[in-house]
């Protein structure tokens, strides 16, 4: 299951995120998103956990917890197609 994590500290690394979630089950991957122009953290990331039950438990236990001096938000990630930015009107070229 993919998990969205927001409001991270600017100093939180992908490894920090992985270690936090490993306390709740097997982590397949953890990635803090980095701005490609500045090289700074965008202060959100994604974690993929192998077991859905562990992932749901992690979401419940970690949402709004204090981590690395920041109160984080943890939710089930939505597919890109569910994003409001991806929906909308088709561009009319005429």
What pLDDT sits at residue 80?
73
Domain extent listing, the chain: 2-78
Query: In the beta sheet, which residues pair with residue 25?
Result: none
pLDDT digits (tens, 9 = 90+) for 24-56: 999 999 999 999 999 999 999 999 999 999 999
Q: How far apart are CA 57 and CA 43, in angstroms?
A: 22
What pLDDT sits at residue 82?
56
Cα 14 to its chain centre, rounded Å, is 10
Residues 46, 31 contacting (CB under 8 angstroms): yes
As its CATH architecture, domain 2-78 has 2-Layer Sandwich (3.30)
Output the pTM of the full model.
0.84
Residue 72: is its pLDDT beyond 70? yes
Residue 94: is its pLDDT beyond 90? no
First-residue to last-residue Cα distance in the chain: 43
What pLDDT sits at residue 68?
96
């Amino acid at each position: 299951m993919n998990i969205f994590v927001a409001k991270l500290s600017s100093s939180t690394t992908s490894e920090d995120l992985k270690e936090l979630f490993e306390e709740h089950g097997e982590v397949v991957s953890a990635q803090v998103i980095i701005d490609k122009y500045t090289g700074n953290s965008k202060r959100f990331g994604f974690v993929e956990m192998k077991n859905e039950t562990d992932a749901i438990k992690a979401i419940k236990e970690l949402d709004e917890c204090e981590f690395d001096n920041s109160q984080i938000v943890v939710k089930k990630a939505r597919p890109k197609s569910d994003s409001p930015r991806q929906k909308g009107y088709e561009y009319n070229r005429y």
